[in-house]
Amino acid sequence: MVEHCCRMMSFEIQETNAVPSADSDHLVRYDERQNSYALVIPNDPAGRAMPISYCPWCATKLRRVRARGLAVMTPDTCRAARKAVSMTQRQLAEAIGESLSTLFRYEMGKPTDQAVAEKLLRFFEECQIAVDRSGRIGRYQP
């Protein structure tokens, strides 16, 4: 059972999962597999939804936990994402709270702590850079 940010979100998700239908009056959809939230687009015949980062009721930043294997941060992906946000290694290292030598080792493919990859994924997500399962990057579309 996933714990959501507030009672309204929990209620909304519980109700949405109990009655998944295109005619639903629910505002938020939760994807358990990716641990992500989205606002349902009303009256959309395709049933699309727009990803959200903040709770519409309590304004809490929605924590997106990445299960292993869902997003891959490789040294090549890191360099490409860093280039996409126009940062030097020193700037990125400071932004994620790591030393320059740790980031340098990571980008060279040397063994580093798994926490470094997780920090990088979180940082790039906050910069609206998406990383997929194959390690490709792209920008989130508003």
40-91 pLDDT, tens digit per residue, is 888 877 777 888 888 899 888 776 544 434 466 788 889 999 999 999 999 9
Interhelix angle for 89-96 vs 100-107, to 10°? Answer: 110
For the stretch 2-31, pLDDT in tens is 678 888 988 888 765 555 555 567 788 887
Q: Which of 2-6, 120-124, 130-134 has the highest mean pLDDT?
A: 120-124
> Does residue 49 contact residue 29 with C-beta atoms inside 8 Å?
yes
| Domain boundaries along the sequence of the chain | 7-52, 75-139
Tokens found for residue 92: 């990125």
Homologous superfamily of domain range 75-139? lambda repressor-like DNA-binding domains (1.10.260.40)
The pLDDT value recorded for residue 63 is: 62
The pLDDT value recorded for residue 64 is: 55
The pLDDT value recorded for residue 102 is: 94
> Does residue 77 contact residue 109 with C-beta atoms inside 8 Å?
no
